[in-house]
Amino acid sequence: MRSILLKSHLKTCLFVNGLNNFNAYSNSALRKNHTSQGPLTILSEDEQFFKETVRKFSQEQITPLIKKMDKEHKIDNELVKKLFENGFMAIEIDPEYGGSGSSFMSSTLTVEEIAKVDPSVSVLVDLQNTLGNNVLTKKGNEEQKVKYLPRLAQDTVSSFCLSEPSSGSDAFALKTVAKKDGDHYYINGTKMWISNSDIAGIFYVFANTDPSQGHKGVTCFIVEREQEGFSIAKKEDKLGMKASGTCVLHFDNVKVHKDNIVGKIGEGYKIAITFLNEGRIGIGAQMVGIAQGCLDHTIPYTLERKQFGTSIFDFQSMQHQIARAVTEVETARLLVYNTARLVDAGLPFIKEAAMAKYYASEVAGKVTSICIDWMGGVGFTTDFPQEKFYRDCKVGPIYEGTTNIQLNTIAKFIRKEYEK
Ligand SMILES: Cc1cc2nc3c(=O)[nH]c(=O)nc-3n(C[C@H](O)[C@H](O)[C@H](O)COP(=O)(O)OP(=O)(O)OC[C@H]3O[C@@H](n4cnc5c(N)ncnc54)[C@H](O)[C@@H]3O)c2cc1C
């Protein structure tokens, strides 16, 4: 039943957008298994289908818009529509609510493929799938799912609103409060760095319902864009990921009904931690995509560019650097894929997610930087894509938990494993 719905959903999407991938789809859609028991890089047919469809879509639909969107600091409206129409914004949402009902691994592959082309677009797709949709799918009650999941699958972007001006790494020191009055709560405070908030319609807002309880008072509310007292303020002018809107949000007595609490009162802390752990895998995938995309633009150049009468790839010192970079990207990819498969298998993955995010961010920084070196002078210009990959990946070690925070998490596990 599930696969038939998936088939019908994807068939419609692909038909609507004339992507002519129906053959690829037909070959894959009837296979139910989302997970592969073999080597990590061998994909199930469902996963392969996602990867191929997204790859083609990214090349055809995103590539022509990269420069314009980076310059205008905005993701093209028509592109957002197409991302929805093709099912890329609702990969794991159950077909019952209009999603594709696929796996976390498919979300991971989608993010990687899009990041190879435009990392800013991958922020949108990543956060929608690995954070926004999963919060409601896994923690929402039936009424909330019926009300919001079809919108999230069809046309509405969500934002995850945790960080504030004075609470970043120490996220649960947040100051936004939600005061109860009858069946409603009144939210007051300011959120900062909220991705996709320039275009989002649904906001998961973490606010403290009882500051005397510290992090145990943090509660997750659904707020809609049009609500009175809610305003989207400054859009940050960033180093990279420029097309991805990152804004400050103000909440001035925003009235929210108790039915819009996700999970229980005081459960916001657990919800945020749980989904950020999954989200980190998406950031890992994004960083792998960025590094790979940059290599894909650079290695052909090293083969073509001639100095001293031979291609620069022919120099052994260049070959060693290139071999090392490609190996590091593959290592990061394996960490990311393994962690995604742990999620799909319902196995513990927190340490692995921290490792994947930390390592993939580090590799993306190193690889995009050295790709610019290999390009020589032209790598330092905006005529070539390396400088954008380099700028875009700089946020990898910062958002969804900085590298130090990931290393803290890994170290906690190491201590537990070794302490007697
Ligand atoms: C482009 C972008 C998009 C973002 N999107 C979102 C979003 O959608 N939703 C959202 O809620 N947030 C978002 N964020 C916020 C992001 O998660 C925070 O920026 C991040 O958690 C770091 O917090 P901070 O900026 O306050 O840095 P700080 O916490 O002030 O950290 C500064 C430095 O101190 C180090 N440090 C802090 N504490 C420790 C410690 N205990 N041990 C060792 N070192 C430490 C950090 O590693 C870092 O190097 C986004 C940020 C950016 C830049």
Predicted confidence (pLDDT) per residue in 211-227, tens digit:
999 999 999 999 999 99
Number of domains the chain contains: 3
Q: What is the pairing mode between strands 202-208 and 158-161?
A: parallel
- Domain co-membership, 184 together with 319: no
- Domain co-membership, 323 together with 244: no
Q: How confident is the model at residue 82 (pLDDT cuts 50, 70, 90)?
A: very high
How many C-beta neighbours within 10 Å does residue 89 have? 27
Predicted confidence (pLDDT) per residue in 104-137, tens digit:
999 999 999 999 999 999 999 999 999 999 999 9
- Domain co-membership, 313 together with 408: yes
Domain containing residue 223: CATH number: 2.40.110.10
- Domain co-membership, 261 together with 314: no
Which amino acid would we find at residue 46? D
- Domain co-membership, 359 together with 252: no
- Domain co-membership, 414 together with 322: yes
Residue 410 lies in a domain: yes
Distance in Å, CA 332 to ligand 1 centroid: 22
End residue of a domain, out of 122, 139, 157:
157
**pTM to 2 decimal places:** 0.93
End residue of a domain, out of 157, 192, 214:
157
pLDDT of residue 420: 79
Residue 25 lies in a domain: yes
Domain containing residue 40: CATH number: 1.10.540.10
- Domain co-membership, 105 together with 177: no
Domain containing residue 334: CATH number: 1.20.140.10
For atom 47 of ligand 1, the residue with the nearest CA is 404
Residue 405 lies in a domain: yes
What is the C-alpha to C-alpha distance for residues 223 and 132, in angstroms, rounded to an integer?
A: 13
DSSP calls for 80-130: HHHHHHTTTT-SSS-GGGTS----HHHHHHHHHHHHHH-HHHHHHHHIIII
Residue 8 lies in a domain: yes
Structural domain of 376 = 278-418
Residues flanking ligand 1, CB < 6 Å: 160-163, 168-169, 193-195, 238, 241, 246, 395, 398-402, 404-405, 408
- Domain co-membership, 60 together with 103: yes
Q: Are 232 and 223 in contact (CB under 8 A)?
A: no
- Domain co-membership, 197 together with 301: no
Measured CA to CA in angstroms, residue 384 lies from 173, 388, 391, 418 at distances of: 42, 8, 13, 48
- Domain co-membership, 75 together with 177: no
**Pocket of ligand 1, candidates 128, 234, 251, 402: which has the most ligand atoms within 8 Å of its Cβ, to mutate?**
402
What is the C-alpha to C-alpha distance for residues 100 and 94, in angstroms, rounded to an integer?
A: 6
Position 98 pLDDT exceeds 90: yes
The active-site residue out of 85, 112, 352, 400 is 400
Measured CA to CA in angstroms, residue 273 lies from 61, 129, 169, 171, 276 at distances of: 34, 16, 12, 10, 5
pLDDT of residue 283: 98
Distance in Å, CA 339 to ligand 1 centroid: 22
Mean pLDDT of all residues belonging to the chain: 92
Residue 129 lies in a domain: yes
End residue of a domain, out of 157, 174, 202:
157
Distance in Å, CA 170 to ligand 1 centroid: 8
How many C-beta neighbours within 10 Å does residue 277 have? 21
Contact residues for 414 (Cβ-Cβ < 8 A; gap 6+): none
**Pocket of ligand 1, candidates 162, 197, 242, 398: which has the most ligand atoms within 8 Å of its Cβ, to mutate?**
398
Residue 273 lies in a domain: no
- Domain co-membership, 307 together with 264: no
Phi, psi of 135, deg, nearest 5? -60, -50
Is residue 400 annotated as part of the catalytic site, yes or no?
yes
Distance in Å, CA 405 to ligand 1 centroid: 9
Predicted confidence (pLDDT) per residue in 318-337, tens digit:
999 999 999 999 999 999 99
Mean pLDDT score, 219-237 = 97
pLDDT of residue 18: 36
- Domain co-membership, 234 together with 203: yes
Residue 312 lies in a domain: yes
Distance in Å, CA 306 to ligand 1 centroid: 43
From the alpha carbon of 159, which atom of ligand 1 is closest?
A: 8
Residue 78 lies in a domain: yes
Predicted confidence (pLDDT) per residue in 135-144, tens digit:
999 999 999 9
For atom 12 of ligand 1, the residue with the nearest CA is 163
